[in-house]
Chains A and B, each alone.
Chain A
C-alpha cells in the first residue's frame, strides 16, 4: 500500500507546455534536426518475397554525381550482433520478405539518393513464398511465450464438458484484420558518426531502449552513443522498439564519417519495415446457464509471425481475467510466414482480444434475452480469475452503470429501429488494460536558478509528458508546478523505460517521486543552487499481492442506411476507471484518441494482403483508410474518480491504450441491434451488411 501524493498540481487542467512550438511547427522532429551539410539516405528494398540476392549492380548509382556511398549485403560492414534478425540489415544475401532492406544509398540530396536507389539493379534467385494465414495450416505451432512474456496456453476446469452440459452455448469464429500503426510522422533518423561517437536524433518511444539496441547491434559502448528525441510524431507502438531503419541509418552514417545522414521511411516503406499488428482469428466458446452465469469461456487464437523474428500477440490474455467462469481455456497458435516483422500496436493483445469475446457476450445476451450490461455484471469476478489475487481496484460495473446513465442506455431504441431511411442501434462493450510499471527508470531532481528541474530520458509521443511530469514533480516536491521544469527525450538524462504498455507515467513518475523524496531528505526545503539528488523506481516496494488493471465501458450509436448500408457512428461514449488522472485535458485527448482509433478499426482499417506477391496491396494512406474528421461525430470520454493505493505513489494506471480496447466490439454490437446483421470479421464494411438488411 502506498501513500498517494496529495494532488495539488496533479488533476489540474493545464495547457500543453510544448503547445506553442507545435502550433507554429517549430518543434523539431528527428528528420528536422538542423545539422551542417546533411547527406540523405534512401533504402533499396527486396522485390521478391523470398529468395537470395545473387548480384547487385551499383554501377549506375555510383556513377551519379553527388552519390557518396552505396551499401549492399556484399559491401556493408559486419555487425557485432546479428542475433536479432530484424536488425541484421545487409548481413546476408537471404531475402525473408518482400520489402526487406537489401541496400542503401547516401547522396548529397534526397532527390539524388532516391534516384540512385532506383538505379541499383538487384538480381535474385527467387524461391516460392508462403504468406497465407489460415486456421487450416498443418504447421501452426505453440510459441514458448507470448509477446508480454505470459504463457501461451492456459486451462482451468473442463471447457468441453461444460459446453456439453450447459443450458446455452455459443461457438463462433471472429477475426480482426492486419493493421498498420501509421503514426503521421514516418520513422526517421538523423545520424552522425564522428570520431567514434554516434548521435542519433531518432523518432522513438524510448531513447534508452533505442540506444541499448544500437549498442548491441554495432558493438558500441553506451558512452559512445547518444540518442535524442524531444518530440515524436506519434508512435502507437511502432516506435516502441527500434526497427531496421534505425540500424540502416546508423550503418549509413558510419559509412560517411563526419556527415550527418538523414533517413526517413516513405509511407509505403512503413508497411514493410515499421511493424504492424497481426491479423487474428479467434475461435470463441461460451457456455452459460439460463440466467447468464458463464459456465465456460474459451478463446483459441491463430495469428501470424514473421520467420525473421517471433512476435506472438497476446490476444487471448484478457479472456483469462475479464469475467468469472469455472471452466476456462486460452490458446495461441502461430503461423511463421515469409512476411514482414509484426510488433506492438496500441494495446497489443487487449485490442484484438477484446473484440471476439465482447461480441460473443452480446450474442449470448441476445440469445438469453438479457440486457448486455446485466450479463456482464452477472459475471463480475470477485478476485482475478487468473491469479486468484484481489483486484487493486476494479470498477467495471460502475463504468457500465455510469456509462449507461450518461449514454441514455435505458431509452435505447428497439432492435431494427428505423428513423427515416436510417436504421439506428446502440451497443456496449467493456474495456480493460493491465496497469504496468517497468523495473528500471531513474530521475534527477536539481535546484537551478531558483527553479526545480527534473531530468529523465522519458518520451512525449503527444501523450503529454512535457506537461504532466512537471505536475507530478511539483506535488512530489511540494512546490507550484510553475516552478518546475522537466528535461526529457535524451540519453544524457537518467535512464527511462519505453513509453509502452501504458507504463510511461507509472514508471517515470515513480522515479521522479523517489528522486524528489531523496532531494528533500538531503537538502530540506531550502536548497542551495546546484543541489541535486538522483533516485530510481523502487521495484522492491512494488505491490505484488493485487491484480492491477484499468477498466472501462464503451457505448456506440450507429446509423445504417437502409438502402445502401452506409454506416455512420454519430456517438461514442466511454467511461473509464483508470486510477488518478494527472491532467484532464491531455487525458481526455488520449481516451478520445484511443476510442477514435477503435472506431477506425471498426469501420475502416484493413491492410489487404496480396498473397500472390506477398505484400500489402493498399500500402498508402489513400487506400489504407483511417478515420478522417468527417467520420467522427460526438466522442465523449468520462472517468471515475478512482483512488488505487496499490499501483504507485501517483495512483495512476496508464491511459494511453485502454481507449482503443472494446470500441470495435461496441460498434459491431450496435450494428447488430440496428440491422440484425452480426458481423464477426472486421472491418464492418457495407458489403457485409447489404445482403441482409431488413
Chain B
C-alpha cells in the first residue's frame, strides 16, 4: 500500500515559493568588548550570529538558537541577555560585553578565575555563557533583586541571603551544562561573590 503526497520543508507548502528579495539590510553600530563596530546587517541576523559570523567573536556560543540553553549569554547594556533571541537590528547603539571582554588580555575577571579554581567546566562550550550569566547574577544580587526561591520578598536581598547554594543554583539555571559541572559552578559563583563556599 502506498499513497502519494507532496510536502514542503519547514513551513513551506506544496507550491513553490515565489522568489522574494533575499535580504533587507540595515546599518547599525555596536560597542563590542569596548570597541565600536559599525556594520550593515541582514535584518534577520541575530546578535549571536552577528558576533560569531560577522565580527569573529566566538566567545558566545550557539547551543540551541532558541533561548533554551544559555550558551549565547552576554552582558547587553550591563545585563545578562540571550543573543540568539535578539535581532541585531533592534540593538543599534547597544553595548555588548562577551566573556572575552570581561578582563583585559592576560588577566581574568574574578568570576573567570573562580571557574578556573573550582573546575567549574569540562568541555568549555557553555562556559562563556555561564560566566556572563554569573557576572549578571552578582550584579542583580547587588541591586537587591530577589529570585524564585527567595523566601522573604520583603527582606533586603544581600550577598549573605542571596548567594546560598539554592539561590545561586536557581539564578544560574538558565544556563545548561551537559557535562554537568553544576556542583562546581555554584561554589565558583559564591567565591566570586565573596562568600566562603
Seen from chain A, the residues whose Cβ lies within 8 Å of a Cβ on chain B are 15-16, 18-29, 31-32, 34, 38, 40, 44-45, 47-48, 51, 54, 57, 59-60, 63-66, 109-112, 115, 117-128, 182-186, 231-234, 236, 264, 266-267, 461-464, 585-586, 588-590, 592-594, 596-597, 600, 620-622, 626-630, 632-635
User: Which residue of chain B is the closest to A622 with respect to CB atoms?
Assistant: B68
Structural contact, B68 and A629, CB atoms closer than 8 A: no
Q: Tell me whether A23 and B116 are in contact (CB under 8 A).
A: yes
Closest to B56 in A: A34
Pick from B65, B99, B177: contact of A267, CB below 8 A. B65
Is B178's CB under 8 angstroms from A234's CB? yes
B190 within 8 A of A: no
Q: Which residues of A sit under 8 angstroms from B38, Cβ to Cβ? A: none
Give the chain B neighbours of A109 by CB distance below 8 A: 42, 53
Q: Do A267 and B183 touch across chains, with their CB atoms under 8 A apart?
A: no
Stretch of B75-83, B121-129, B151-159 on the interface side: B121-129
- B102, closest chain A residue (CB): A24
Q: Across the interface, which residues of B come within 8 angstroms of A123, CB to CB?
A: 6-7
**How far, in Å, is B127 (CB) from chain A's closest CB?**
5
**A119–B10 alpha-carbon span in the complex (Å):** 9
- Give the residue of A54, A60, A585 whose beta carbon is less than 8 angstroms from that of B16: A60
Contact at A629–B185, with CB atoms within 8 Å?
yes
What are 22 A-B residue pairs whose CB atoms fall within 8 Å in the complex? Answer: A15-B117, A24-B108, A25-B100, A28-B58, A51-B2, A118-B9, A118-B17, A121-B9, A122-B8, A124-B5, A127-B1, A183-B125, A183-B178, A185-B123, A233-B61, A236-B178, A266-B65, A462-B124, A626-B176, A626-B178, A629-B175, A630-B166
User: By the criterion CB–CB under 8 Å, are A119 and B116 in contact?
Assistant: no
Q: Which chain B residues lie closer than 8 Å to A126 at the CB level?
A: 2-5
Give, as a whole number of angstroms, the nearest-CB distance from A63 to chain B. 4
Which of B71, B119, B124, B177 makes the CB contact (< 8 A) with A585?
B119
Q: Is the CB of A127 within 8 A of B2?
A: yes
Instruction: Bits for B165-193, please: 1 = Cβ < 8 Å to A, else 0.
Output: 11011101111111111111110000000
Contact between B4 and A590, CB atoms less than 8 A apart? no
Give the complex CA separation of A381 and B21 in angstroms. 72
Residues of B within 8 A of A593 (CB): 122, 179-181
Using CB atoms and an 8 Å cutoff, list the residues of chain B in contact with chain A.
1-12, 14-19, 22-23, 42, 44-45, 49, 52-53, 56, 58-66, 68-69, 71, 98-100, 102-103, 108, 112, 115-117, 119, 121-128, 131, 149, 165-166, 168-170, 172-186
In angstroms, Cα B22 to Cα A110, docked, is 12
Q: A122-B8, A622-B68 are in contact. Are A630 and B170 (CB under 8 A)?
A: yes
Residues in B with CB closer than 8 Å to A57 are: 16
Q: Which of A19, A629, A633 contacts B172 (CB 8 A)?
A: A629
- Contact A18:B124 (CB < 8 A) given known A596-B182, A627-B180: yes
Interface SS majority for chain B: loop
Which chain A positions have C-beta within 8 A of B125?
29, 183-185, 233-234
Q: A25–B56 Cα gap in the complex (Å)?
A: 12
Are A24 and B112 interface neighbours, CB within 8 A?
Answer: yes
Q: Are B183 and A596 in contact (CB under 8 A)?
A: yes
A residues less than 8 Å from B181 (CB atoms)? 589, 592-593
Cα distance A594–B185 when bound, in Å?
A: 16
A597 contacts B180, C-beta separation under 8 Å: yes
Are B183 and A60 interface neighbours, CB within 8 A?
no
* Given A25-B98, A184-B126, 4 new contacts (CB under 8 A): A19-B115, A115-B22, A123-B7, A183-B123
Question: Contact between A47 and B2 (Cβ–Cβ < 8 Å)?
Answer: no
Within the assembled complex, what's the spacing in Å between the Cα atoms of A54 and B15?
Answer: 15
Instruction: Among A45, A184, A635, point to the contact of B61 (Cβ < 8 A).
Output: A184
Give the docked Cα–Cα distance between A593 and B8 (Å).
41
Q: Which of A182, A593, A620, A630 has the most CB of B within 10 A?
A: A630
The verdict on A25 contacting B127 (CB below 8 Å), with A109-B53, A122-B8, A592-B180 known, is yes
Smallest CB separation, B141 vs chain A (Å): 16
Q: Which of B11, B119, B186 has the most CB of A within 10 A?
A: B119
Q: In whole angstroms, what is the CA distance A45 to B12 when docked?
A: 13
Contact A65 B22 (CB under 8 A): yes
Closest B residue, CB atoms, query A13: B119
Residues of chain A contacted by B3 (CB below 8 angstroms) = 126-127
Inside 8 A of A21's CB, which chain B residues have their CB?
Answer: 124
- Interfacial chain B residues near A632, Cβ < 8 Å: 169, 180, 182-183
Which of B16, B123, B131 contacts A233, CB < 8 Å?
B123
| Choice from B19, B172, B182 contacting A64 with Cβ under 8 Å | B19
Chain B residues with CB under 8 A of A264: 62
CA A186 to CA B117, docked complex, whole Å: 27
Which residue of the partner chain B has the closest CB to A102?
B9
* Contact between B179 and A589, CB atoms less than 8 A apart: yes
The one of A23, A125, A634 in contact with B112, judged by C-beta atoms closer than 8 angstroms, is: A23
Of A29, A119, A462, the residue contacting B179 (CB under 8 A) is A462
The one of A44, A125, A184 in contact with B177, judged by C-beta atoms closer than 8 angstroms, is A184
What chain B residues lie within 8 Å of A25 (beta carbons)? Answer: 58-61, 98-100, 127-128
Q: Are A629 and B169 in contact (CB under 8 A)?
A: yes
**CA A21 to CA B105, docked complex, whole Å:** 11
State whether B12 touches A121 (Cβ < 8 A): yes
Task: Report whether A120 and B9 are in contact in the complex, using a CB–CB cutoff of 8 Å.
Answer: yes
Instruction: Please give, as numbers and ranges, the residues of chain B lying within 8 Å of A627 by CB-CB distance.
Output: 180, 182
Known pairs A48-B5, A48-B7, A621-B64; A20 contacts B108 (CB<8 A): yes
Partner of A15 from B49, B56, B102, B116 at Cβ < 8 Å: B116
The complex places the Cα of A31 from the Cα of B51 at a distance, in Å, of 13
Given contacts A24-B128, A121-B16, A234-B179, contact A461 B6 (CB under 8 A): no
Question: Could you tell me if B121 and A186 are in contact, using CB atoms closer than 8 angstroms?
Answer: no
Q: In chain A, what residue has the closest Cβ to B63?
A: A184
**A588 and B68 form a contact (CB under 8 A):** no
* Closest CB pairs A-B (n = 9): A25-B59, A233-B125, A462-B123, A462-B122, A22-B124, A25-B128, A596-B180, A32-B58, A621-B68
